[in-house]
């Protein structure tokens, strides 16, 4: 009797576990599709992003010769200093005159053709240029003194003195007579 009782208990346990195995996989596991089996829905296609090429904007041509003074190339000492210096050292002066650094090949030519600003000392453009030179950290005292030596101006004074001296000369450049 014991053996038959044990066998009945084992049979009941096996049936319970088999029923538990069958019910739990359906509830907890989702069906994994087999390779080659069709899945519902279609794959979303990626949209093509076209390259939008924009041509680089052309720089405006420099306006040279609107001032009322002598050309810097006609002033002997200034012309000599321009020809003596390297174009990299003349970039700050070119930036002051034309509001851009300029290309190495054309810096000296542009400087020689400059004959003054088209505005007066009491105009709004003058005050904007003065404020730009005072605030911009690229125009240090040493660079302004190099500009003064090129323009044959006195190199002494504070930062604001140098800026005022350079701008007042560049409104209408004249030969110093030295």
Digit-coded pLDDT (tens) for 38-73: 667 777 888 988 887 777 777 667 677 677 888 889
Give the number of other CB atoms < 10 A from CB of residue 112.
Answer: 18
The CA distance from 147 to 97, in Å, is 11
Q: Find, among 158, 154, 175, the residue nearest to 79 by Cα.
A: 175
Q: Are 62 and 110 in contact (CB under 8 A)?
A: yes
The 8-class DSSP code of residue 47 comes to P
More confident residue, 45 or 37: 45
Summarised one tens digit per residue, pLDDT across range 65-115 is: 677 888 889 999 999 999 999 999 999 999 898 888 888 889 999 999 988
The total number of structural domains in the chain stands at 1
pLDDT at 22 over 60: no
59 assigned to some structural domain: no
Residue 54 placed within a domain? no
Confirm whether 42 is domain-assigned.
no
Whether 125 is covered by a domain: the verdict is: yes
Range of the domain at 129: 76-171
């Amino acid at each position: 009797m014991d053996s038959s009782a044990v066998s009945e208990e084992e049979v009941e346990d096996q049936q319970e576990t088999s029923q538990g195995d069958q019910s739990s996989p359906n509830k907890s596991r989702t069906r994994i599709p087999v390779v080659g089996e069709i899945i519902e829905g279609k794959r979303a296609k990626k949209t093509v992003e076209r390259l939008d090429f924009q041509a680089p904007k052309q720089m405006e041509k420099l306006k040279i010769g609107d001032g009322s003074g002598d050309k810097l190339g006609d002033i002997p000492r200034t012309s000599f200093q321009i020809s003596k210096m390297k174009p990299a050292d003349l970039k700050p002066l070119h930036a002051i005159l034309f509001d851009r650094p300029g290309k190495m090949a054309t810096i000296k030519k542009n400087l020689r053709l400059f004959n003054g600003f088209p505005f007066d000392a009491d105009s709004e453009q003058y005050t904007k240029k003065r404020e730009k030179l005072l605030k911009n950290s690229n125009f240090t005292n040493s660079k302004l003194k190099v500009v003064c030596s090129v323009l044959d101006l006195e190199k002494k004074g504070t930062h604001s003195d140098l800026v005022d001296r350079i701008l007042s000369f560049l409104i209408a450049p004249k030969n110093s007579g030295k």
